[in-house]
Amino acid sequence: MLDDLDRRLLESLIKDSRTSLKELAQQVGLSSPSVAERLRRLEDRGVIRAFTVEIDPQALGYTLQAIVRIRPLPGKLHIVQKLIEEIPEFGECDKVTGDDCFVARLFVRSIGDLDKLLDRIADKAETSTAIIKAQPIRRRPPPLGATASSKP
């Protein structure tokens, strides 16, 4: 799926996506046109979804994060989902199996803000909120290594 060169390119780009083609090229031992071509293909194949920037919420004043589990009241599922999508403070939301329909991450500046935001969905869903005290693992990609699950 990915060869060793692709993997090394991705590793470098995960660390710094603004690395120049030339430098990537020397890191993996190719010419820069080859690297450009490989990156283009990784994008085409959808392996690279985007080159982006990681922003520190703290630095923007979002000193608090919470994980919110959301159980919409009967018949309110779609309204709730739409509501969540429209609130930009939700930084992530997954629809999951089990009692909790959604699990979402919320960025807020204060407990007051948290309360205000949750109030907006309180009449359409039950929520349980857990404040994040620490982040042992910050968002990271899955392992790139050995894509050998089908090979015997």
Binding segment (CB under 7 A) for DNA, from list 25-33, 71-79, 107-115, 123-131: 25-33
**Contacts with DNA, 33-62, as mask; x by CB under 7 A:** xx-xxx------------------------
Q: What phi, psi does 30 have (nearest 5°)? A: -130, 175
Choose the one of a second copy, DNA, none that binds residue 139, judging by a C-beta under 5 to 8 angstroms depending on kind: a second copy
SS3 22: helix
Bridge partners of 66, per DSSP, are 106, 131
Spatial separation of the C-alpha atoms in residues 2 and 49, rounded to whole Å: 15
Q: List, in order, residues 6 or more apart from 62 with CB less than 8 Å away.
A: 89, 107, 108, 109
Q: Which of 29, 142, 151, 152 binds a second copy (CB under 8 A)?
A: 142
Residues in the site for a second copy, rule: CB under 8 A? 1-2, 10, 13-18, 45-62, 65-67, 81, 84-85, 88-98, 100, 102-104, 107, 109-110, 113, 128, 130-144, 147, 149
